Structure 1
């Protein structure tokens, strides 16, 4: 097994700056313990690079007791990209030997660029919350399982919920709900991953006249909201339906949100 496709195409997989081998990938295939970040690269640049690097460092400290050098991660990404300017990049951090957890390896997966569907999304609520939800960790069986079931029922994604129908996040997104009467948006405060796109977009909202807050959201509350939207590294999309509740799409708000996100500068890797 080699890490690069023939002719230098995509996908490419490198571990610690070298083409991935079956031996090198073995621990991920059998243990699947680690964490990652996912980003869209355009022209060799990415939005929110500092936030991605901070996420990797913090999770490495929490899971392995050792930080991760930002310059090293950038070098690994640049090497894996090579002459590829536009790509979907995933950076995975793991310990090849869990008996020595502070000795970390960095896997960089380079795949073709992707974008979120901007068409309205239908979400199916499921009774599941991710363990250690604040970490973007490996082993997302629940997300994949419930996401597959949601799509089989004609939905686009699963909406993860906890006891009492408290809303946490989408299977691969953050979700926000729009209060009626121009009262702004609320992001669920249940356990969830604060995604990079959420981190970049949330502080820009008040400056655009959109109050933003975090608070409890329950499935029973959803009919009272004026609209909803989801965000992740691939972009922003409106939500048109959650279970059997139809939500209107606020086109003006979506235009504002996409404009705000487009204003975020791209950082050279």
Structure 2
């Protein structure tokens, strides 16, 4: 009986230089996976449990197995510690890796605290595939976002073929009708910042048509890096509602940070 030879390992070169360990890099270059992004402040993360749940759910859906929160905490704590930063922006990526999956953590400078810069958005007819996942391969988002900036806007606003608002290219969007914060319900990612804010504000989740945007009094975007007022969507202008922004930012400030590591220094849950 003969056996088939094992396939030769992948060979990768970058600018003509062979990669010493091409296995993990090949998984990253495959572009299939998901991630979550967070702000770390003094070793704590707002909504850390939601981030861990997101990672576990997406890993089960894409790769058929769990991603224990304790493992993520350990890898996150190790990367943050090695970076020498107590305050930082961190991302946890999960990539396809043959018979298993690979987990990578990146750590970079922290996003500025406080409100983000006012945003001018332009509507584009595009919805992310599998929009409920924070998946890799965001070519469409990047394409439309770059096109929006070249046209003089700050970001793209993704909409359905029926003209329903979904989300920003990299953030959730909400509208203020004077009584409630209205969160659109077209296919989108449930952002962690949105999930933390919605229960703390007078929120309504419902379809939002492009045609009704002039009826709103204000709008804002929210993601892991900032909460920012929206001053326009194409030709619809919104004033910056200082009272609303103070209320929204105050609600977010009240969210307690969860420790990455527990009191005994491990990565297990608190």
TM-score, with structure 2 as normaliser: 0.85
2:111 aligned with 1:114: yes
Gaps of 5+ in 2: 1-19, 261-270
1:125-144 alignment runs, 5 A limit = 125-144=123-142
Is the 2:89–2:109 contact (alpha carbons within 8 Å) kept by the matching residues of 1?
yes
Matched position secondary structure for 1:124: strand
For residues 228 and 127 of structure 1, what CA distance do their matches in structure 2 show? 20
Contact preservation (8 Å) 2:24, 2:102: no
- After superposition, give the CA deviation of every residue in 1:195-221 in whole Å (9 maximum; x if it has no partner): 00000010011xxxxx21111111111
- Asked whether the equivalents of residues 33 and 93 of structure 2 are also in contact (C-alpha less than 8 Å), the reply is yes
Aligned mates of 2:173, 2:45 — CA distance in 1: 22
> Which of 250, 254, 261 is matched with 1:259 structurally?
250
Checking the alignment, whether the CA contact within 8 Å between 2:164 and 2:207 is kept in structure 1 is yes
Whole-Å separation in 1 of the counterparts to 2:88 and 2:242? 29
Once the two structures are superposed, residues 60-117 of structure 1 have per-residue CA deviations (whole angstroms, 9 ceiling, x without a partner) of: 11111111010000000111112321111110011211xx2xx221100111112386
Aligned mates of 1:141, 1:243 — CA distance in 2: 22
Match of 2:161 among 160, 163, 171: 163
Q: Which residue of 2 aligns with 1:220?
A: 211
Structure 1 regions of 5+ residues with no counterpart?
1-19, 206-210
* Structure 1 runs (4+) greater than 2 angstroms displaced: 20-23, 115-119
> 1:8-157 to 2 correspondence within 5 Å?
22-29=22-29, 31-82=30-81, 83-97=84-98, 100=99, 103-115=100-112, 118-157=116-155
- Of the two, which has the highest radius of gyration? 2
Find the aligned partners of 1:41 and 1:250 in 2 and give their Cα distance. Answer: 28
TM value normalised by structure 1: 0.85
Query: How many Å separate the matches in 2 of 1:45 and 1:123?
Result: 32
Pairwise CA RMSD of aligned residues?
1.4
Choose from 220, 237, 243 the match for 1:229: 220
